[in-house]
Amino acid sequence: MPFGLLKYGLGKDYPFEREPDLPATPTLKQHYDVVIIGGGGHGVATAYYLAKYHGITNVAILEKAYLGGGNTARNTAVIRSNYLTPQGVRFYSESVKLFERLSNEFDFNIMYSQRGQLTLAHTDATVRAFRQRAEVNTHFGGRTELIDPHHIAELVPTLNLNPANMPVLAGLWHKDGATARHDAVAWGYAKGATQRGVELHQLTEVIDIIKEGDRAVGVKTNRGTVHCRSIVQAVAGYSAVLAGIAGFKLPLVSYPLQAMVTQPVKPFLDPLVSSSALHCYVQQTSRGELVFGGGSDPYPLYNTRSTLELKESLIAHAVEMFPFMSEMQLLRQWAGITDMTSDYSPIMGLSPLRHYYLDAGWGTWGFKATPICGQTMAELVANDGKVPDLIAPFALDRFDHFKQVNEMGATAASH
Amino acid sequence: MKILHCPLNGPRNISEFVYGGQVKPMPNPESATDTEWAAYVFYENNSIGVVQEWWLHAPSSYWFIVERHNGSDTILRTYDPSELLSNPGMVSLEDAIQ
């Protein structure tokens, strides 16, 4: 091996293909079949499945900054399906199944690692809620069970079982829980989509939505006007702002969500661990860094600034769970803007404008839904607005009819 | 530490306060349709700009109004709700309180 390496080191030929994974941004055409606003995971996944399953390749993804630079890069990369509502569990289970085979499908390593996710219960009420979640999950084919503190100590020997004087009573052990490199998910989808003819336009900001009556027919961007048959908006935290430009309101409130990462250390933490009472989730990345995050900021804001208060409380909670973390140094700290619905479920499907489709309300639970979101949104667009059964419960008009999907299994929801 | 000027208690740490939602006129619960009521409960004007909000100073249980830019997090003005309730646009809210 060393001699082979030396040969390549001294030679001019690189042993692998030198083609870039993504083509340069092309010139913007005047007409596309589908325009997708937002080049994050959800947007590029929608384009990928449109091209792959529905043969629709005349698609432009318009991204105001760069590929996967928004919440796709800011989440804590947790993949799980141990939600509470049957609608939610069905939906996220499909996502977990798709994630499992993404690396093979893309021929691009997304560093998917199914290590299991453990949520800690500190009160009897939470134990009861967890029991329900375990039953609902098992019913829909997920692998989730309730485990006792002894079993928890075996799984995570470094965990403090009495954090902040709130003894751990039980744990919701979700074997399907996993993590993956979030950037690579967006890159893999973008690579697969652009190879099939989809155009990715970075640094292309949508300024206005062109309408004819109650129908969306195109968009105005900083690089020119584009007409299209259908539009998909997948812009996470700025969903309500874009909807405002399109001329309607969404039942969303945008909050910053702050997270942080430490310096890398040797591998010691296999499962992804979160505490329901401390509102803190901790996982060790494949690079050895500890990524941890907590609840949203206490009031709405469109600003990714960091606050000392949240840093203090989040670090305090993380140190309660893993006391030796107090010896570690922070590497980075950041925030993302999350568009929260009042029932902690997304808003997917039709909008008040015809041919204008919504992928919004992803709050703090968007990354884990990336594949299934792309697949169902692609189906919705390809079938000209016929809503797939899987996302029918997440329609925007559920709020008008008081038919919310109360997803208390969401991280942001209190348990 | 971010400071919020409470009209009753003066400048205090913002961690003493609780956000209470945007100020919006409430339709009459007796006569509003389900759609109107849903619009009031679930929809907020979630755009970027100056917003008018209810805030509570938790230790003194005092509710007041904050005008804040939700892009820069700059607090522009804080005042007692009586100023707002005397505004003709908010009559329905006053009715509801009575």
> Does residue A10 register a pLDDT over 90?
no
* Structure confidence by residue, pLDDT tens digits, A45-75: 999 999 999 999 999 999 999 999 999 999 9
Confidence tier at A21 by pLDDT (50, 70, 90): confident
Q: How many CB atoms sit inside 10 A of residue B39's CB?
A: 17
Supply the pLDDT for residue B45: 86
The two beta strands, A290-296 and A170-174, are unpaired
A281/A274 Cα distance (integer angstroms): 4
Task: Tell me which residues of chain B, numbers 6 to 25, contact chain A at a CB-CB cutoff of 8 Å.
Answer: 14-15, 18-19
Q: Is there a domain that residue A303 lies in?
A: yes
A138/A128 Cα distance (integer angstroms): 16
Supply the pLDDT for residue A19: 76
Chain B positions touching A303 (Cβ under 8 A) are 70-73
Tokens of A309: 């208060």
* Structure confidence by residue, pLDDT tens digits, A153-183: 999 999 999 999 999 999 999 999 999 999 9
The H-or-E segment that residue A334 falls in is strand A330-340
Q: How many CB atoms sit inside 10 A of residue A267's CB?
A: 11
Q: Which amino acid would we find at residue A133?
A: R
Searching chain B, which residue's CA lies closest to the CA of residue A307? Answer: B1
SS3 A380: helix
CB A270 within 8 A of CB A299: no
Residues 6+ apart with CB under 8 A from B21: B44, B53, B54
CB A57 within 8 A of CB A51: yes
A278/A143 Cα distance (integer angstroms): 24
Residues 6+ apart with CB under 8 A from A138: A144, A145
Higher pLDDT, A86 or B96: A86
User: Could you give the ipTM of this predicted complex?
Assistant: 0.89
A388/A393 Cα distance (integer angstroms): 10
- Mutate which: B17, B46, B75, vs A, most A CBs within 10 A: B46
Q: Is there a domain that residue A104 lies in?
A: no
Domain that includes residue B31, residue range: 3-97
Q: Is there a domain that residue A263 lies in?
A: yes
Supply the pLDDT for residue A6: 78
A373/A91 Cα distance (integer angstroms): 9
> Does residue A259 register a pLDDT over 50?
yes
Nearest CA-CA distance, residue A98 and chain B, Å: 33
Q: Is there a domain that residue A130 lies in?
A: yes
Tokens of A379: 């189906």
> Does residue A83 register a pLDDT over 80?
yes
> Does residue A250 register a pLDDT over 70?
yes
Q: Is there a domain that residue A245 lies in?
A: no
A256/A251 Cα distance (integer angstroms): 17
Residue in B45, B38, B46 with CA at minimum distance from that of residue A254:
B46
Give the distance, in angstroms, between the CA of residue A73 and the centroid of all CA atoms in the same chain.
9
A110/A102 Cα distance (integer angstroms): 7
Confidence tier at A1 by pLDDT (50, 70, 90): low
Residues 6+ apart with CB under 8 A from A162: A168
Searching chain A, which residue's CA lies closest to the CA of residue B15? Answer: A309
Tokens of A391: 């996302």
What does chain B look like in DSSP terms, one character per residue?
Answer: --EEEETTTEEEEGGGEEEEEE--PPPPTTT--HHHHHHHHH-----SSEEEEEEEEGGGTEEEEEEEETTTTEEEEEE-THHHHTSGGGHHHHHHH-
> B67, exposed or middle or buried, with CB in 10 Å at 0-12, 13-18, 19+?
middle
* φ, ψ at A295 (rounded to 5°): -80, 175
Residues 6+ apart with CB under 8 A from A87: A345, A393, A394, A405
A371/A45 Cα distance (integer angstroms): 6
Supply the pLDDT for residue B93: 47
> Does residue A257 register a pLDDT over 60?
yes
Task: Tell me which residues of chain A, numbers 395 to 414, contact chain B at a CB-CB cutoff of 8 Å.
Answer: 399-402
Confidence tier at A412 by pLDDT (50, 70, 90): low
Chain A positions touching B71 (Cβ under 8 A) are 301-303
Question: Domain count of chain A?
Answer: 1
Q: Is there a domain that residue A144 lies in?
A: yes
Q: Is there a domain that residue A273 lies in?
A: yes
What percentage of chain A exceeds 70 in pLDDT? Answer: 98
CATH code for the domain in which residue A292 is found: 3.30.9.10
Supply the pLDDT for residue A317: 95
Domain that includes residue A298, residue range: 114-178+253-337
> Does residue A137 register a pLDDT over 60?
yes
> Does residue A5 register a pLDDT over 80?
no
Q: Which residues pair with A357 in a beta bridge?
A: A232, A350
Nearest CA-CA distance, residue B23 and chain A, Å: 14
A355/A219 Cα distance (integer angstroms): 12
Tokens of A165: 């004087």
Summary mean pLDDT of chain A: 93
Supply the pLDDT for residue A414: 45
CATH code for the domain in which residue B63 is found: 3.30.2270.10
Question: Domain count of chain B?
Answer: 1
- Mutate which: A305, A340, A400, A401, vs B, most B CBs within 10 A: A400
Q: How far apart are the first and last CA of chain A?
A: 54
Supply the pLDDT for residue B94: 44
Is the Cβ pair B47, A301 closer than 8 Å? no
Kindly report the pTM of this predicted structure. Answer: 0.92
Q: Provide the b/e sequence for A184-217 (b: ≥16 CB within 10 Å).
A: bbbbbbbbbbbebebbbbbebebeebbbeeeebb
A88/A12 Cα distance (integer angstroms): 53
As a residue count, chain A comes to 415
* Structure confidence by residue, pLDDT tens digits, A280-307: 999 999 999 999 999 889 999 999 998 9
CB A58 within 8 A of CB A227: no
Nearest CA-CA distance, residue B43 and chain A, Å: 4
Residue whose structure tokens are 């490199």: A181
SS3 A82: coil
Residue ranges in chain B modelled with pLDDT below 70: 87-98
Residue in A154, A157, A172, A170 with CA at minimum distance from that of residue A116:
A172
Higher pLDDT, A15 or A35: A35
